[in-house]
């Protein structure tokens, strides 16, 4: 369960202000976040992940108030519990496919590689259809492959929450469906919460719930 209550956030020196009185996303659900550009959809994801700290209010994931966690604890929370998928893939150009998937293990010591993880990696790579591309560098992959690789990276630590920021924004229609199906499949299979920012209204029907940022109480100064 993700619970946001009385949340207020604004970027210093900016006239943007996000205010959410109450928002609950239940565990295992798939949620689409829609709204105009600059409406605060990505900010919402960053607040959930603890990357941004709200000016007031709380962000609870399960029983943990993310806002009360130390920096280190927040990083560990992100690495263990959250899988990020970005519109522009955010793959590390100088790492090959496998190293990109393993990146979380290399940048945070709180998760360790073990035999089980290795099997898991093989499985998800297989599921994503990129098991033959693990030796390749990002520039050697197509957009679809890149995003599937990015999803593998997001899922490598078996997160309970997937935060996807327009994951299909750079993909062709075929790939869009494939990618979303993969994310839905993971969420359902692992009882994980999927929160996806999207502009693709055709896909909304596949989500359990939709948060429309246009309906939220958003104060703009």
Partner 1 sequence: MIQSLYLGLKYLQYHIYRTIILIGAIGVILYLPLGLGRLISESETQMMARADATPLIIGAKDNATDLVINSIYFEQCNVEQITFSKANELDRLGFGYSIPFISVFNARNYPIVGTTLDYFRFRNLDIEEGHNLQFVGECVLGALVAESLNLGPGDSLVSSPDNFLDLAGSYPLQMKVVGVLKTSNTPDDRAVFTDLKTNWVIMGLGHGHEDMTEVKDPTLILEQDSTSITASAKLFIYNKIDGEKLESFHFHGDKSNFPITSILFIPDNHKAATLLRGRYKTDIIQEQILIPSEVIANLLENIFRIKHIFNTVFILVGFATLLILSLIIVLTLRLRKKELYTMFTIGSSKTKTFEIVVSELLVIIVGSLMLAAALYAISGYFVESFIQQFIL
3 state DSSP class of 74: helix
Residues facing 17 on adjacent strands: 10
**Rule CB under 8 A: is residue 97 a binding residue for partner 1?**
no
Alpha helices per DSSP H over the chain:
41-49, 71-81, 97-107, 115-128, 143-155, 173-190
Question: Of 19-58, which residues contact partner 1 (CB under 8 A)?
Answer: 49, 51
Rounded to 5°, the CA angle 90-114-29 comes to 55
**Which of residues 106 and 126 has its CB atom nearest to partner 1 in the complex?**
106
- Count residues near partner 1 (CB under 8 A): 25
CB neighbourhood size of 108 (10 A): 15
Applying CB under 8 A, among 7, 101, 105, 183 the residue interacting with partner 1 is: 105
**Rule CB under 8 A: is residue 98 a binding residue for partner 1?**
no
Query: Does residue 200 contact residue 165 with C-beta atoms inside 8 Å?
Result: no
Closest approach, Cβ 96 to partner 1, in A, equals 9
**Rule CB under 8 A: is residue 155 a binding residue for partner 1?**
no
Applying CB under 8 A, among 19, 41, 78, 176 the residue interacting with partner 1 is: 78
**Which of residues 82 and 216 has its CB atom nearest to partner 1 in the complex?**
82
Closest approach, Cβ 46 to partner 1, in A, equals 8
Closest approach, Cβ 104 to partner 1, in A, equals 6
CA distances to 33, 70, 172, 185, 217 from 8, in Å: 18, 20, 36, 33, 11
Query: CA neighbours within 13 Å on the CB side: how many for 202?
Result: 6
Closest approach, Cβ 82 to partner 1, in A, equals 8
Instruction: Note the residues at the interface with partner 1 (CB under 8 A).
Output: 49, 51, 71-72, 75-76, 78-79, 84, 86, 90, 92-95, 99, 103-109, 137, 153
């Amino acid at each position: 369960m993700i619970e946001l209550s009385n949340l207020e956030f604004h970027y210093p020196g900016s006239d943007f202000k996000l205010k959410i009185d109450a928002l609950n996303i239940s565990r295992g659900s798939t949620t689409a976040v829609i709204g105009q550009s600059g409406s605060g959809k990505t900010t919402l994801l960053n607040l959930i992940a603890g990357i941004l700290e709200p000016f007031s209010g709380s962000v609870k994931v399960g029983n943990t108030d993310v806002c009360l966690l130390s920096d280190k604890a927040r990083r560990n929370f992100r690495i263990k519990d959250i899988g990020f998928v970005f519109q522009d893939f955010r793959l590390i150009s100088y790492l090959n496919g496998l190293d990109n998937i393993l990146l979380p293990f290399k940048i945070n010591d709180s998760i360790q590689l073990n035999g089980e993880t290795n099997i898991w990696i093989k499985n998800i790579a297989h599921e994503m259809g990129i098991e033959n591309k693990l030796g390749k560098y990002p520039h050697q992959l197509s957009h679809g492959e890149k995003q599937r690789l990015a999803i593998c990276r997001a899922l490598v630590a078996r997160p309970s929450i997937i935060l996807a920021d327009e994951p299909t924004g750079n993909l062709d229609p075929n790939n869009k469906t494939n990618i979303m199906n993969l994310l839905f499949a993971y969420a359902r299979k692992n009882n994980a919460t999927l929160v996806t920012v999207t502009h693709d209204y055709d896909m909304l029907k596949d989500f359990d719930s939709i948060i429309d940022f246009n309906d939220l109480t958003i104060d703009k100064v």
